[in-house]
Amino acid sequence: MRVIFENAIVRETAAHHKYLQLAKFAKSNILKKIFETLAAEELTHKELFSKMDLTVLKIVSKTNLTTLNLLNEYEDKLDITDMQDIKNAIDLAIKEEEQAYQDYSTLIKYLDFGPGRESLQEIAKQELAHKHILQKTKQKLENNWKNSFDIS
């Protein structure tokens, strides 16, 4: 169980940094604010995972936990240097938010009721909301990438 939460902390930290990097390149205040807000929420998730007392989490079944992506080591392999990197970063963030939602939702099914489970449910909901925000943002940017980010 500890490795799952340690890996969640690594992923939430990486997401925080990715959103800050995207905010840095954003030209409009609205776009900058979207990424800064996502970054702040990811930092909150990291802090929640860091403070979670694993001794109070009761796993009722470990049967399907072996399929969690959180059991795999995370490799943050994206460095933003041009416009294509920004598009790739947003695409990757959409996939990672979906994966986080799926992993946290799976984990919730195997935790006993209590504050740890409730916190994880809230984080899962936020990850899904992040995915939807990113999808809408990407859709609005489709024809206006160059005017939306400053890569220099």
Question: What is d(CA 149, CA 145) in angstroms, rounded to the nearest whole number?
Answer: 7
- pLDDT tens digits, 108-119: 887 777 788 889
Q: Which residues of 3-28 are buried (b: 16+ CB within 10 A; e: fewer)?
A: ebbebbbbbbbbbbebbbbbbebbee
Give the distance from CA 72 to its chain's centroid. Answer: 15
The DSSP letter of residue 111 is B
Query: Does the pTM of the predicted model rise above 0.85?
Result: yes
Provide the percentage of residues in the chain whose pLDDT is more than 90: 51
What is the token pair recorded at 17? Answer: 């940094």
- pLDDT tens digits, 7-37: 999 999 999 999 999 999 999 899 999 999 9
| DSSP state letters, 125-143 | HHHHHHHHHHHHHHHHHTT
Place of tokens 């169980």: 1
Question: What is d(CA 70, CA 56) in angstroms, rounded to the nearest whole number?
Answer: 20
Amino acid at 88: N
The length of the chain, given as a count of residues: 152
